[in-house]
């Protein structure tokens, strides 16, 4: 069946680049011309396309991917064209605290940012549907639930400018929240401060627990059964002790004395009876 | 990284002063020469790069691998050595 193949020569440079990235092909140097990108693309990807797609399904899947990649183009800006400050800001967005960006460190940071971006977009592609569920109005109403859509919105071009404003407020409210690469953050529900135009009265304390607290909690979780275990052990020990005592000194046991009393009474009667019977016989 | 080399211990034991780049653990003659060619002739210049990267061992290892062609073990050894030196003397 005929397969529709786009002419790669008509791709933009951005598009070519993202295509190359998606096929995990090493990019040519950042400042090289589009022609070079095109050559690399044809070499690595072009041949594959004609061979790979034999069925409808695969084609559709590929189409979906391409659409998403086009969407990401706005975010996948040419890293080498960023200024040092912009690069630093971008890194901060992904939770990387960059040091001074100078000639000898810039390449490293660029690569790191690129790695973070590809990682991030890979994850956020899966979560894209979720992002749609959060409407703008809902975000404005519930201040506590916004971390999810907020971190997704970095790659989601469909988010409107009004969400951008919300994002800024969020960054203000949670300055220490590191963006997770998955774009999913689990936070406790909190009372809504700063929502509906009320001023933010305080900054939230840090949510992540220190390792020490976590450790303590773990121990506490273990302590409850341990306590029960000890109690049971003591009970059993006490029981065994009583049994031992009652075996060693049966006379001191009030029950033993009672039993003795019971067994002695009939015997004395017998003794009393015996002489009587002897008397009657004689 | 449970064991450290003699070179590591020597380097970490005292201020680096004017030591050559080859005094760093994990940096032998070959790597040292490559670093020198790029201007990193003294251990303190490498330390400078390490500090520029905010003592990030991961990034520094990556940088070392790029600039000198060190392997992962050498890069890790060097960054650990510098990190420890910083702990002691910075």
pLDDT(A227) > 50: yes
Cα–Cα distance, B90 to B86 (Å, whole number)? 5
Nearest CA in chain A to B40: A104
Cα–Cα distance, A97 to A113 (Å, whole number)? 11
Q: Which domains does chain B have, with CATH numbers?
A: 6-89 (1.10.150.40)
Low-confidence ranges of chain B (pLDDT < 50): 1
How many A/B residue pairs have CB atoms within 8 Å? Answer: 23
Are B52 and A108 in contact (CB < 8 Å)? no
Q: Which residues pair with B20 in a beta bridge?
A: B42
Among A97, A104, A111, beta carbon nearest to B54: A97
First to last CA, chain B: 22
**pLDDT for position A143:** 42
Are A108 and B54 in contact (CB < 8 Å)? no
Q: Is A183 left (phi over 0), alpha (psi -120 to 50) or beta?
A: left
What tokens were used for A282? 């004689």
Neighbour-count burial for B9-45, b at 16+ CB within 10 Å, e otherwise: eebbeeebeeeebbbbbbbeeebbebbbeeebebbbe
Cα–Cα distance, B70 to B40 (Å, whole number)? 14
Cα–Cα distance, A46 to A167 (Å, whole number)? 40
What's the average model confidence in pLDDT over A178-192? 61
Of B63, B85, B70, nearest to B13 (Cα)? B85
pLDDT(A246) > 80: yes
DSSP state of A186: -
Cα–Cα distance, B1 to B15 (Å, whole number)? 22
Chain B residues contacting A via beta carbons under 8 Å: 49, 52-54, 56, 59, 62-63, 66
ipTM of the complex model: 0.83
Are A107 and B66 in contact (CB < 8 Å)? yes
**pLDDT for position A152:** 44
Residues from chain A that touch B54, judged by Cβ atoms under 8 A, are 97-99
Of A94-103, A120-129, A189-198, B14-23, the range with the lowest mean pLDDT is A189-198
What tokens were used for A156? 């989601």
């Amino acid at each position: 069946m005929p397969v529709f193949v786009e002419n790669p020569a008509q791709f933009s440079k951005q598009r070519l680049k993202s295509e190359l990235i998606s096929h995990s092909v090493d990019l040519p140097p950042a400042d090289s011309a589009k022609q070079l990108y095109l050559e690399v693309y044809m070499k690595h990807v072009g041949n594959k396309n004609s061979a790979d797609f034999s069925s409808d399904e695969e084609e559709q899947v590929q189409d979906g991917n391409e659409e998403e990649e086009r969407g990401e183009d706005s975010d996948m800006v040419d890293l080498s064209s960023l200024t040092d400050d912009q690069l630093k800001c971008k890194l901060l967005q992904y939770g990387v605290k960059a040091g001074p960006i100078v000639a000898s460190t810039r390449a490293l940071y660029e690569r790191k940012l690129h790695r973070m971006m590809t990682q991030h977009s890979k994850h956020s592609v899966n979560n894209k549907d979720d992002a749609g569920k959060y409407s703008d109005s809902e975000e404005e109403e519930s201040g506590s639930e916004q971390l999810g859509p907020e971190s997704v919105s970095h790659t989601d071009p469909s988010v409107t400018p009004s969400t951008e404003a919300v994002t800024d407020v969020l960054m203000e409210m949670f300055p220490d929240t590191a963006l997770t690469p998955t774009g999913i953050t689990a936070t406790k529900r909190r009372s809504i401060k700063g929502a509906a135009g009320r001023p933010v009265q305080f900054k939230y304390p840090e949510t992540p627990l220190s390792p020490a607290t976590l450790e303590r909690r773990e121990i506490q979780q273990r302590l409850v059964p341990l306590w029960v275990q000890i109690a049971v052990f003591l009970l059993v020990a006490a029981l065994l002790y009583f049994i031992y005592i009652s075996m060693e000194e049966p006379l001191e046991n009030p029950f033993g004395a009672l039993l003795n009393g019971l067994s002695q009474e009939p015997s004395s009667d017998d003794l009393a009876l015996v002489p009587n019977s002897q008397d009657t016989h004689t | 990284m449970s064991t450290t080399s003699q070179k590591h211990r020597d380097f970490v034991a005292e201020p680096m002063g004017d030591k050559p780049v080859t005094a760093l653990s994990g940096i032998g003659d070959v790597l040292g020469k490559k670093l020198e060619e790029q201007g990193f002739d003294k251990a303190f210049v490498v330390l400078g790069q390490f500090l520029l990267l905010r003592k990030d061992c991961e990034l520094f290892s990556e940088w070392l691998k790029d600039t000198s062609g060190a392997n992962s073990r050498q890069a890790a050894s060097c960054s650990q050595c510098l990190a420890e030196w910083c702990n002691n003397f910075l």
